[in-house]
Structure 1
Amino acid sequence: MKIKPEIRDRILNAARELVAEGVETPTNDQVREKMGKGSLTHISPVMREWKEQRKTEIAAALEMPAELKRVVETSLAQIWTAASKLANAGIEKLREDAQSKIDTAEQELVEALSEVSRLEAEIESLKSKSLECEQKGEVVEKQLSKLTTENSALHARVDDRSIQVENLKSELKEARADNKALQKELIAIAKGKNSKSKNN
């Protein structure tokens, strides 16, 4: 089909504008929409030719001299080493911080549980004394109420520390997973670059 030069130019201009806007591979419908109107019977063959020509241009642009390839490979190795060190240092610092917080929270939890046990024993002792000393019931009742309140507060503290320990363990687990994912990405990038270098 003979396509007028002005129509061909409009189609190609629309395709180039779409690429400039970030559309890597414009479709025929996108080109028609960019033009505002047009026939797919005109757009389709022009776009086929343009895409083939663009592939050739991109392939030519991607070719690089052997010396540049060596520089890229050396740089990639250096980047990989630096990124690995940073990733490992970051996860190790995060692990140490999280473990320190976990240890502190667990220690506080042990202390709180010990205090709970002590208070509960004291409550039981006071209950026993209150039965023996009814005349001092009011005083004992106040002490019992106070200790019961303290016990409730410590129970709440224990629950809070338990939640904090679990959250810190979860954060540590996520950090380890993030580190593994980062290392996999770096390996994939390195393999991709090496594969591209071999193909070229």
Structure 2
Amino acid sequence: MSNWKQRENFLVNVARRHLRGHKTFDLCRSHLVKASQISKGTVYNHFASEADLMVAVATAEYQDFLAQAHDDSRGFEDPLWAFLYHHCRRLSDIINNQRFVIARIMPNPDILAQASPENQLAYQQAYRAYEAWNRNQVEAMGEVTGFDRLELVTNFIRGTMINIDDAETCCDDATVYHQYCYAMTQLLGHSHRRIPEARELKAWFVEVRQVA
């Protein structure tokens, strides 16, 4: 990896740490100069506009989501359970680690259009790859006719993450995740399927934290 790419990754990670616990993307390039202790010229060379910074952060987020999704799909043979546990993990990250909810700003075609072609391409590749993982899991669950199930559940997941963050939920109540799984399963059209019980989710999160 080139020094240029390493420095850009560093800047993006500084930006992501700065945004933890924030409800809006209130970080601009001038703030990043101070937070990173890297010169203004260098920061502005990496991110030619505020939109470039936003899109670069979103790209890194979706790349992380995809990497975690692959880990989760390897951990569960049942695609429904892999899907449910993956999105529970994302929700837990917001609740416990105050991760910035990237769904607050992306996908947004207006922001994307203001970014450089390179950042647009990187974002589109990351977003589409993550969307493909979700669609593959839904298709593997078995066909349910009538609606675009992925669109329904994606909109629900996005809204839930924003609402949970706005409510500043600070507990780690396993019943919250159980209810989340129940709602996702209903929207996916698999209400007849067994979902993880609260005790199973609680035990899983304990194991995940021990590994982390």
Normalised by the length of structure 2, the TM-score is 0.25
**Which one has the largest radius of gyration?**
1
Normalised by the length of structure 1, the TM-score is 0.26
